[in-house]
Structure 1
Amino acid sequence: MERVEAELFTEGGNDAVVRLPGRRFPGVLIQGDSLSILRSDLAEAVEAFDQGDLAVARETAVLLLADLDALLTRYVAALEAHEIPRPY
């Protein structure tokens, strides 16, 4: 394990925006439990799709998209607050 100092652009929490040394742009640090939930939600959508339950697959995908949109909105807000251009 290596210890490094990182720049924190948002409050800590389940999805902090941080920049690691040597990186031009910050990233989003997602806690392991939150990452596991995102993965489970995607697996649920895939399973529903495989079973032909398109309504459940779509509903699950919509919720997952909303979660990812919230992460992206937080990321963009942190970049704008610190006058950092978007990397995309």
Structure 2
Amino acid sequence: MRREEVEVFSDESKAVVIRHLSRHFPGCLIQGDSLSIMLQSLLVVQSEADVLSEEAAGELRDVVESLSELMSNYRAVLLSHGIPSPF
């Protein structure tokens, strides 16, 4: 772990917008528990979405895959720093 400066554009709860000084555009900070909830909700939708068009199903798969990768990375980082999961 290291500490670095970031620019904070908004620190409203569930709407944190920051920019790492090495990045051109700001990003949104998603708390781990919120990320987990979003992923679980999409997994439920995906399991029940047998009437979606092929295009819509593909888009849903892409979003689920992206969030799953973020969740895997989040869990790995917490584990590597000895931080318990918030969910």
Identity %: 40
Q: Deviations over 1:6-42 (max 9, x none)?
A: 1110124223000012111100011001111110110
Distance 1:38 1:15 in 2: 15
The 8 Å contact of residues 6 and 18 in structure 1, kept in 2 or not, is answered as yes
Structure 2: runs of 5+ lacking an equivalent: 52-59, 61-87
Matches within 5 A, 1:43-82: 43-49=43-49, 52=50, 54=51
Computed over aligned residues only, the root mean square deviation of the Cα atoms, in angstroms, reads 2.0
Q: Tell me the equivalent position of 2:7.
A: 7
Aligned partners of 1:15 and 1:34: how far apart in 2? 11
The AA in structure 1 aligned to 2:28 is V
Q: What residue number does 1:17 align with?
A: 17
Whether the aligned pair in 2 keeps the contact of 1:15 and 1:31 (CA below 8 Å) is no
The aligned amino acid for 1:27 is: G
CA-to-aligned-CA distance 1:57-83 (integer Å, 9 cap, x gap):
xxxx8xxxxxxxxxxxxxxxxxxxxxx
The answer to whether structure 1 residue 32 and structure 2 residue 28 are counterparts is no
Amino acid in structure 2 at the alignment position of 1:5: E
- Structure 1 outlier segments of 4+, above 6 Å: none
Question: Which 5+ residue runs of structure 1 have no aligned equivalent?
Answer: 55-60, 62-88
Instruction: Please state whether the residue corresponding to 1:41 is helix, strand or coil.
Output: helix
Q: TM-score, normalised by structure 1?
A: 0.53
CA contact (8 A) 1:8 1:18 kept: yes
> How many residues of Structure 1 are paired with residues of Structure 2 in the alignment?
53
